[in-house]
Chain A
Amino acid sequence: MTAVTADTQEAYQAVFDAAVASDERIEPRDWMPEAYRATLVRQIAQHAHSEIIGMQPEANWITRAPSLRRKAILMAKVQDEAGHGLYLYSAAETLGTSRDELLDKLHAGRQKYSSIFNYPTLTWADVGAIGWLVDGAAITNQVPLCRCSYGPYARAMVRICKEESFHQRQGYESLLALSRGTPEQHAMAQDAVNRWWWPSLMMFGPPDDESSHSAQSMAWKIKRHSNDDLRQRFVDICVPQAEALGLTLPDPDLRWNEERGHYDFGPIDWTEFWDVLKGNGPCNEQRITQRRRAHEDGAWVRDAAAAYAAKHGEATA
Chain B
Amino acid sequence: MTATVNTAAALALGDDALVLSHRLGEWAGHAPVLEEEVALANIALDLLGQARVLLSLVGDEDELAYLREERAFRNVQLVEQPNGDFAHTIARQLYFSTYQRLLYGRLAAAGEVGDLAGLAAKAVKEVAYHQDHAEQWTLRLGDGTPESHERMLRACTALWRFTGELFQPVDGLDVDWRELESDWLASVTAVLERATLPVPDGPRTGAWSAGAGRQGLHTESFGRMLAEMQHLHRSHPGASW
The residue in chain B whose Cβ has the minimal distance to the Cβ of A76 is B45
- Residues 29-85 of B at the A interface (beta carbon under 8 Å): 29-38, 41-42, 44-45, 48-49, 51-52, 55, 61-62, 65-66, 85
Compute how far the CA of A84 lies from the CA of B238 in the bound complex, rounded to whole angstroms. Answer: 36
- A: residues with CB less than 8 A from B are 52, 55-56, 59, 62-72, 75-76, 78-79, 82-83, 85-86, 89, 99, 124, 174, 177-178, 181-182, 184-185, 290, 293-295, 297-308, 311, 317
A301 and B229 contact, Cβ closer than 8 Å, known pairs A75-B28, A308-B140: no
Does B220 sit at the interface, judged by CB under 8 A?
Answer: no
A300 and B48 contact, Cβ closer than 8 Å, known pairs A79-B42, A82-B34: no
Q: Are A298 and B145 in contact (CB under 8 A)?
A: no
Q: Are A298 and B25 in contact (CB under 8 A)?
A: no
- B: residues with CB less than 8 A from A are 18, 22, 25-26, 28-38, 41-42, 44-45, 48-49, 51-52, 55, 61-62, 65-66, 85-86, 139-141, 143-145, 147-148, 151, 228-229, 231-233, 236, 238-241
Q: Are B28 and A304 in contact (CB under 8 A)?
A: no
Compute how far the CA of A305 lies from the CA of B240 in the bound complex, rounded to whole angstroms. Answer: 45
Q: Are B35 and A317 in contact (CB under 8 A)?
A: yes
A72 and B241 contact, Cβ closer than 8 Å, known pairs A62-B28, A301-B148, A303-B148: no
Chain A residues in 8 Å Cβ range of B148 = 300-301, 303-304, 307
The residue in chain A whose Cβ has the minimal distance to the Cβ of B234 is A66
Chain B residues in 8 Å Cβ range of A59 = 28-29
- Nearest Cβ in chain A — how far from B64, in angstroms? 9
- Nearest Cβ in chain B — how far from A155, in angstroms? 19
Q: List 21 A-B contacts (CB under 8 A).
A: A55-B37, A56-B29, A59-B28, A59-B29, A62-B28, A67-B62, A68-B18, A75-B45, A76-B45, A78-B41, A79-B38, A83-B38, A99-B34, A178-B241, A182-B236, A297-B32, A297-B85, A304-B147, A304-B148, A308-B143, A311-B143
- Nearest Cβ in chain B — how far from A53, in angstroms? 9
Compute how far the CA of A86 lies from the CA of B33 in the bound complex, rounded to whole angstroms. Answer: 10
Partner of B144, one of A63, A124, A307: A307
Chain B residues touching A, majority SS? helix
Compute how far the CA of A68 lies from the CA of B147 in the bound complex, rounded to whole angstroms. Answer: 38
Partner of B29, one of A294, A299, A317: A294
Compute how far the CA of A182 lies from the CA of B28 in the bound complex, rounded to whole angstroms. Answer: 30
A301 and B32 contact, Cβ closer than 8 Å, known pairs A62-B25, A82-B37, A308-B140: yes
Compute how far the CA of A64 lies from the CA of B49 in the bound complex, rounded to whole angstroms. Answer: 17
Q: Are A181 and B240 in contact (CB under 8 A)?
A: yes
Compute how far the CA of A288 lies from the CA of B18 in the bound complex, rounded to whole angstroms. Answer: 31
Q: Are B38 and A71 in contact (CB under 8 A)?
A: no
Partner of B229, one of A63, A83, A297, A311: A63
Compute how far the CA of A174 lies from the CA of B241 in the bound complex, rounded to whole angstroms. Answer: 7
Compute how far the CA of A308 lies from the CA of B51 in the bound complex, rounded to whole angstroms. Answer: 35
Chain A residues in 8 Å Cβ range of B49 = 72
Pairs A-B, 6 closest by C-beta atoms: A298-B32, A304-B144, A304-B148, A79-B41, A82-B37, A59-B28
Chain B residues in 8 Å Cβ range of A68 = 18, 48, 51-52, 55, 61-62, 65
Compute how far the CA of A303 lies from the CA of B144 in the bound complex, rounded to whole angstroms. Answer: 8
Q: Are B37 and A79 in contact (CB under 8 A)?
A: yes
Chain A residues in 8 Å Cβ range of B228 = 63-64
The residue in chain B whose Cβ has the minimal distance to the Cβ of A293 is B30
- Nearest Cβ in chain A — how far from B7, in angstroms? 18
Chain A residues in 8 Å Cβ range of B32 = 294-295, 297-299, 301-302
Q: Are A305 and B26 in contact (CB under 8 A)?
A: no
Beyond known contacts A290-B29, A290-B30: 8 more, CB 8 A cutoff? A55-B37, A68-B51, A79-B45, A82-B41, A300-B148, A302-B33, A305-B140, A308-B144
Compute how far the CA of A70 lies from the CA of B229 in the bound complex, rounded to whole angstroms. Answer: 12
The residue in chain B whose Cβ has the minimal distance to the Cβ of A65 is B232
A294 and B30 contact, Cβ closer than 8 Å, known pairs A79-B41, A79-B45: yes
Compute how far the CA of A294 lies from the CA of B144 in the bound complex, rounded to whole angstroms. Answer: 20
Most buried by A among B44, B85, B233, B241: B241
Compute how far the CA of A99 lies from the CA of B45 in the bound complex, rounded to whole angstroms. Answer: 27
